Amino acid sequence: MFRILKKRPQKQHPYEGRSNRNLPLSSELDKNLQILKSIYMGCIDVIYHPFLIAGKTKALLVYIDGLSDTEQIDSSVLAPLMSKTIDKSITLQGTCEKIQLSNIRVVKTYDDCIMNISNGNPILLMEHEEQGAALGLAKWEKRSIKEPESESVIRGPREGFVETLGVNISMLRRKIRSPNLKMKKMNIGSYSNTSVIIAYIEGIANQSLIDEVQNRLQKVEIDSVLESGYIEELIEDNVFSPFPQLLDTERPDVASANLMEGRVVILVDGTPFVLIAPVSFFSFFQAPDDYYQRYLISSVIRIMRLFFMLISVFLPSLYVAVSSFHQEMVPTILLLSMASLRESVPFTALIEALIMEIVFEALREAGLRLPKQVGAAVSIVGALVIGQAAVQAGLVSPLMVIVVAITGIASFMVPRYSEGIALRLIRFPIMMLAGTMGLHGLVLGFIGIAIHLCKLRSFGVPYLSPIAPTIGREMKDAFIRSPWWMLNTRPHLTGRFNKYRQAPNQQPKPKK
């Protein structure tokens, strides 16, 4: 017997069938109420408040409970409008003049009404009026401004972005008090309708860069944008690269500094993480402290970061290659010691390294996901207990535990989590190459990574700039951080329209 399958009705694409919302408002208040109720059918938090203006004209106030300031609605809207002492003609314009609010916008379509209602702005509709008024009375619970835990500094501002877009914009305005700081707004997400801001400084940022960012964002068609990571994956140049091509930050000072270098900042409502484009490989090794401390200290620390980055990527592979294929490179005394330590280990050096690295990564991830009170303790105690137990059981050698511990400490030197996790990821294929081909495989992996980085772009800017292509004057802020009196110019590939950012010859001269 064959089962007869019924043909399923085709689902409507979420971006189709929305033209009815763009219809203009009707002059009949009951019709407007009927359409809005059909749109918000099943939404118990949408409040429809009918009332009479001056006891004569029918009016309707629509808002979402929890997104609007109900106290201001009662005192600044309903109380003056329901008073019978209104001496002006009862029109929308005269009614809005009676309301003591500074932010009132005119809405003409149902789509405008939905947008403002969802943003917490109540909509005022009146009989015999083909347009309404959006009242700026949005109010909801929001997090207070605190220092970002993932980007803490020893010296510098102690404030970070929050989930409210208006607060984040004001924090940028506080840093850059210039009318040249421009912002373009768009909404992305057919259901979430998330507000996205493109911030740049006119006269410094390249106009072609601004247009490219805007075009990529306009091409995004998605049902919701709940975090800036949604957008990051949809607008980056190479989606299959493990390396991040946009910089994310919670710090207003970092965003402002990048704006001053001609870059573009993308702010997304609902998340404290903003995106910065374009960036280079060296952007992920620059910490805010580098620019707040003395340049000698900052330069030494930055060189240490780059050095330990190489250790975190290549040290396990180097150990595997040398112990498996190139024992002649090890001094005799050290080789005998290594042989005695690995005498009871049943695995090859490659398997041993993979086991320890995977366990260490699991402990690190567990420490991040657990509550703060126990996360650090689990990571430290777990690493000590498992390492000691593994050595005593003869599963791994003590030297491998030391190598994995040094690698883990070195990986924490990378100040950006997105770059650090990419470097941790590529460590495993390099170990496999070293375990099968020795140092030849390690060199082959290094060449492959270098070729990939040379091909990578961030909004058209080479990922390895200022090394490839070589730009000599920008080396002053790559491997080291030169003193401020030497950083006269902005980056060539992002701030070409306004090259100089400070006057030359500002080096302090010692008095004789």
Q: What is the DSSP string of 329-362?
A: GS-HHHHHHHHHHTTT--S-HHHHHHHHHHHHHH
Residues 39, 175, single domain; the answer is no
Give 324 or 265, the one with higher predicted confidence: 265
What's residue 9's pLDDT? 44
Instruction: Name the pLDDT band for 7 (thresholds 50, 70, 90).
Output: very low
Residue 73 domain-assigned?
A: yes
What's residue 327's pLDDT? 86
Q: Report long-range pairs for 472-477 (Cβ below 8 Å, ≥24 apart).
A: 477/286
Residue 489 domain-assigned?
A: no
Report how far residue 476's alpha carbon sits from residue 13's, in angstroms, rounded to the nearest whole number: 52
State the total domains in the chain.
Answer: 3
Residue 241 domain-assigned?
A: yes
Instruction: Name the pLDDT band for 416 (thresholds 50, 70, 90).
Output: very high
Residues 127, 166, single domain; the answer is no
What's residue 23's pLDDT? 85
What's residue 117's pLDDT? 93
Q: Which domain holds residue 108?
A: 29-135
Residue 240 domain-assigned?
A: yes
Average pLDDT of the chain, as a whole number: 87
Of 279, 297, 318, the domain-final residue: 279
- Could you read off the pLDDT of 50-104 as tens digits, one per residue? 999 888 889 999 999 989 998 899 988 888 888 766 655 578 888 887 888 888 8
Residue 15 domain-assigned?
A: no
156 near 289, Cβ under 8 Å?
yes
- Could you read off the pLDDT of 275-322 as tens digits, one per residue? 999 999 999 999 998 999 999 999 999 999 999 999 999 999 999 999
Q: Which of 49-53, 244-248, 346-350 has the highest mean pLDDT?
A: 244-248
Could you write out the DSSP letters of every residue in 374-408? HHHHHHHHHHHHHHHHHHHTTSS-HHHHHHHHHHH
Q: Which of 190, 30, 9, 10 is nearest to 115 (CA)?
A: 190
What's residue 20's pLDDT? 56
Residues 249, 319, single domain; the answer is no
The pair of three-digit structure tokens given for residue 502, joined into one six-digit string:
């400070």
Single pTM value for the model? 0.86
* Other CB atoms within 10 A of residue 27 CB: 13
What's residue 367's pLDDT? 78
Nearby residues of 35 by Cβ (< 8 Å), 6 or more positions away: 26, 110
Residues 366, 242, single domain; the answer is no
Residue 443 domain-assigned?
A: yes
Residue 406 domain-assigned?
A: yes
Report how far residue 214's alpha carbon sits from residue 460's, in angstroms, rounded to the nearest whole number: 14
SS3 state at 459? coil
Residues 129, 156, single domain; the answer is no
Residues 330, 238, single domain; the answer is no
| Ranges of H-type helices in 121-269 | 165-175, 207-218, 228-235, 252-260
Residues 259, 123, single domain; the answer is no
Residue 18 domain-assigned?
A: no
Q: Is the pLDDT of residue 373 over 70?
A: no
Report how far residue 478's alpha carbon sits from residue 290's, in angstroms, rounded to the nearest whole number: 11
433 near 445, Cβ under 8 Å?
yes
Mean pLDDT confidence for 216-245: 93
Of 420, 446, 462, the domain-final residue: 462
What's residue 60's pLDDT? 93
Residues 263, 361, single domain; the answer is no
- Could you read off the pLDDT of 468-481 as tens digits, one per residue? 888 888 888 889 89
Instruction: Name the pLDDT band for 274 (thresholds 50, 70, 90).
Output: very high
Of 70, 100, 135, the domain-final residue: 135
Residues 244, 267, single domain; the answer is yes
Residues 365, 458, single domain; the answer is yes
**Segment (H or E) for 453:** helix 439-455
What's residue 8's pLDDT? 45
* Other CB atoms within 10 A of residue 108 CB: 14
Residues 127, 162, single domain; the answer is no
Residues 331, 444, single domain; the answer is yes
Mean pLDDT confidence for 31-60: 90
161 near 168, Cβ under 8 Å?
yes
